[in-house]
Homo-oligomer: A and B are copies of this chain.
Amino acid sequence: MAELVVDARPTGPAPDPAPDPAELYRGMRLIRSFEECALGLVKSGEIVGGIHPYIGEEAVAVGVCAVLRPDDLITSTHRGHGHVLAKGSDPRRMLAELCGRATGLNRGRGGSMHAADVSVGILGANAIVGGAAPIAAGAAWAAKRAGADRVVATFFGDGALNQGVLLETMNLAALWALPLVFVCENNGYATTMATASAVAGTAAGRAAAFGLPSVTVDGMDVLAVHAASAAAVAAARDGSGPTFIEALTYRYGPHHTIEQRIRLAYRTQEEIDQWRQRDPLDVHGARIPPGQREQIDAEITELIEAAVEFARSSPDPDPKDALEFLYASGMTGRSGAVDG
């Protein structure tokens, strides 16, 4: 079992504070292409249960994770593919996980909503809105106690702003000056509910209530997210405590792939088209030489093809091991059937 004991020594070099435009673009392109591929595999039935596509929000995951060290940690959400890829998981193993293969990040046990990869600092996607924030706070608390200069970033949506445990966590993080960055991906909706009709006050106001410094950034511009994150992570690392980042973004696709099967009228095509005008890949893509952009696109296409190949050729986990890992101590409970 990959032990995650906090180490006072940083296990990786700090990323160059200056952003690398090409690398940021590559990160977003990887997520976009991965998600488009995953949508296909949902249609074909190779991914069971569907996914919450991250398409449109790529700049947030990439901008934040670009300033994190390999030994820094993140927690993710039900819409977590972007975070997992941006933090450095192998896309092949991530796709294998979505396909429920033994070679997946979670050995096929977690799937889309629970993808975790401790080896690169991903404590896991969480299927409960707001559920990951206190876990991230605990990791930050452990790091601080160990004297490590590790930072933890926790992603959550605007819907989590109304979840009590997130608010309790903001209080604890501020109170104990935890090396934690709250990243609110405000995409305007919680499933079908508009943020405005669910959130009294503002995200920034929530942060202010607990004395948390906050910044609201254009979540469609990876450089804006990168700059805000760099400052927040630096503050957390030097002991100044947590920061709250609200990234204004938008999901181009359905809340979840099942939404494609039901007619929902909670937002207009005009609204979607408007946000598409500011597609994060174009906003930032325009900043790098066209030739280089095409080359990256091509490399990613290959990479995704390889991931599909890897996932498809990977073995399924053995049903007789269905409850392996249930207890870390190795304990096994009784089966549910009549034995023998």
Contact = CB atoms under 8 A, between A and B. Distances in A.
Interface in A130-179: 162-168, 170-172, 174-175
Interface in A210-263: 210-212
A130 to B, nearest CB: 9
Interface stretch (A1-9, A56-64, A181-189, A199-207): A199-207
A14 interface: no
A157 to B, nearest CB: 15
A: contact size bracket? 20 to 34
Nearest to A211: B201
B205 A200 contact: no
Copies of this polypeptide in the complex = 2
Nearest to A196: B175
Contacts of A199: 171, 175
A247 B199 CA distance: 26
A171 B162 contact: yes
A166 B172 CA distance: 16
Contact of A174 (B174, B200, B212): B200
A141 to B, nearest CB: 14
Nearest first, the 4 A-B pairs at minimum CB distance are A164-B164, A209-B209, A174-B200, A167-B167
30 contacts: A162-B168, A162-B171, A163-B164, A163-B168, A164-B164, A164-B165, A164-B167, A164-B168, A167-B168, A170-B200, A171-B199, A171-B200, A172-B200, A174-B200, A174-B201, A175-B197, A175-B199, A175-B200, A200-B210, A200-B211, A200-B212, A201-B208, A201-B209, A201-B210, A201-B211, A205-B210, A205-B211, A206-B209, A208-B208, A208-B209
